A and B are shown apart, each in its own frame.
Chain A
Amino acid sequence: MKVVGLIIALLAGSLLVYATADFPPLGDPNSPASVHVSPRYIEKTMEETDVPNIVTSVLADYRGYDTMFETTVIFCAGVACFLLLRVYRREEPQERLYRHVLTGVTIHVKAGKLPPSPDFERIDSAWTPHDLIIKTICRLLIPFIQLFALYVIAHGHHSPGGGFQGGVMLGASVIVLAMSQDLRTAVRRLREKADALMCATGVFIYAGTGALCLLLGSNFLDYSALAPVLHVDPIMARSHGIFMVEVGVGVAVMGVMIWIYNNVSSMGKYDEGL
C-alpha cells in the first residue's frame, strides 16, 4: 500500500512539474495576466479606491465577494470544530491538582474540589512546573501583540496586512494567555458564548456592509454607495468600506482562532488546556 501511495504521489508530482513548464516565466511582461489583468488594477486602484496597497483593494473591494466567503469558510471551520469536539456532559475529573501559592506545594484532591481561596490555585493535571518568568513575560507581551494587531488591521490600506493577519494575531494573543497561564483564565476573560458570538458578528459585519450598499441602491459590496452615510466622496467611501470589511474579517478570524484552540486543547471540555 505504501509503494502504491509513493507511486501515485510521484506521478502526480511529475505531472505538476510537467504542467509548470507551460507557465509563463515569473514576472514575464507578455503573459496574459500581466497584459490584461494587472495593469487595470495597478493603474486604476489609486484613483478608484484611494488605497495605496493594491493587494488590499483587490482582496476587499474588487474581489470582495470572494473574501466574504473566505470569511464564511473560516467561520464554518470554527463551527465544525465546535460541533465535533465540544462535550457538555459534566463528568468529574478523577482528581484536581491545587498549588499552594506561598510554598509551591502541590496537593491532589480526589473527588471534589477545594473551596475558592486566595491561598490555593488550581493547576492542570498534566503537571508542569510553575514558571514565573514565562507567565510574567507573556503578560507583558500580550498588550503589545494586541496593539500591533490593531495596527495591522487599521493600516492594511497602506502596508501589508489586513483583517486576516490582524485577526490571527489578536487570537494568538489570547492563545498565548491560555498557554502561559491556563485555559480557565483565558476562558474567564473571554467566555465561550461571547467568543462564538464574536465569530458570527464578524461575518455579519462583512455581509451587513454589503447589504447596506444594496439598501442604498447600489450593487452588493459596492462601497461607493456608502458615501452619503459616511459624508465623504464615493472614492473615499470605498476606502472606508474596505476598512469596515477588514474589521469584520478581523473579528471573525480572532473569534474562530480562539474557539478552535479552546476546543482542541481541552478536548471540548473547557476545563484543562495545554
Chain B
Amino acid sequence: MLWQLDLAVLTLVVVVGIGSIMVKDLLGAAIMFGAYSFLMCLLWSIMGAVDVAFTEASVGAGVSTVFFVAAVFRTTRRTKD
C-alpha cells in the first residue's frame, strides 16, 4: 500500500481521536468519534482485514454514533470538565 495514504489516514486518526476528547460540545465529540471509527475502518481495509473493517463501519461508525447522539439528546450537550 502507498505509505503516503497510510500516513495521511494515521495522522487523521490521531487528530480526530484527540479532538473527540478535547471538544467541549458532546454532540461534536460523538460525531468526531464516528469519524474516528470510519477512519479506523479505512485503516483496517488498508491492512487487508476487510471483515473487521466492515464491522467497524457498521457498528462503530453507524449504530454507536446513533446511540451517542441519542444519549446526548436525552442528557446534556455541554461537558462539565
Residues in A lying within 8 Å of B, measured CB to CB: 2, 26, 53, 55-56, 126, 160-162, 164-165, 168-169, 171-172, 175, 179, 257, 260-261, 264-265, 267, 273-274
Interface of chain B, main secondary structure:
helix
Question: In the complex the two chains form, is A265's CB within 8 Å of B63's CB?
Answer: no
Query: A169: nearest residue on chain B (CB-CB)?
Result: B58
Residues in B lying within 8 Å of A, measured CB to CB: 47, 50-51, 53-55, 58-59, 62-63, 66-67, 69-71, 73-74, 81
Interface of chain A, main secondary structure:
helix
- Complex-state Cα separation, A55 to B69, whole angstroms: 32
Question: In the complex the two chains form, is B70's CB within 8 Å of A274's CB?
Answer: yes
Q: What 7 A-B pairs have minimum CB-CB distances, sorted nearest first?
A: A265-B70, A160-B50, A168-B58, A55-B51, A264-B70, A160-B51, A160-B54
- Contacts A2-B81, A55-B51, A267-B74 hold; do A164 and B59 have CB atoms under 8 A apart? yes
Query: A149: nearest residue on chain B (CB-CB)?
Result: B58
Question: In the complex the two chains form, is A172's CB within 8 Å of B70's CB?
Answer: no
Cβ 8 A contact of A26, one of B47, B66, B67, B73 = B47
**Whole-angstrom distance between the Cβ of B47 and the nearest chain A Cβ:** 7
Query: In the complex, what residues of B have CB within 8 A of residue A56's CB?
Result: 51
**Whole-angstrom distance between the Cβ of B57 and the nearest chain A Cβ:** 8
- Complex-state Cα separation, A260 to B66, whole angstroms: 11
Question: In the complex the two chains form, is A162's CB within 8 Å of B58's CB?
Answer: no
**Whole-angstrom distance between the Cβ of B65 and the nearest chain A Cβ:** 11
Query: In the complex, what residues of B have CB within 8 A of residue A260's CB?
Result: 67
**Whole-angstrom distance between the Cβ of B61 and the nearest chain A Cβ:** 11
User: Would you give 16 A-B contacts (Cβ < 8 Å), ordered by A?
Assistant: A26-B47, A56-B51, A160-B53, A161-B51, A164-B55, A168-B59, A169-B62, A171-B63, A172-B62, A172-B66, A175-B66, A261-B66, A264-B67, A265-B70, A267-B74, A274-B69
Cβ 8 A contact of A264, one of B58, B62, B74 = B74
**Whole-angstrom distance between the Cβ of B6 and the nearest chain A Cβ:** 11
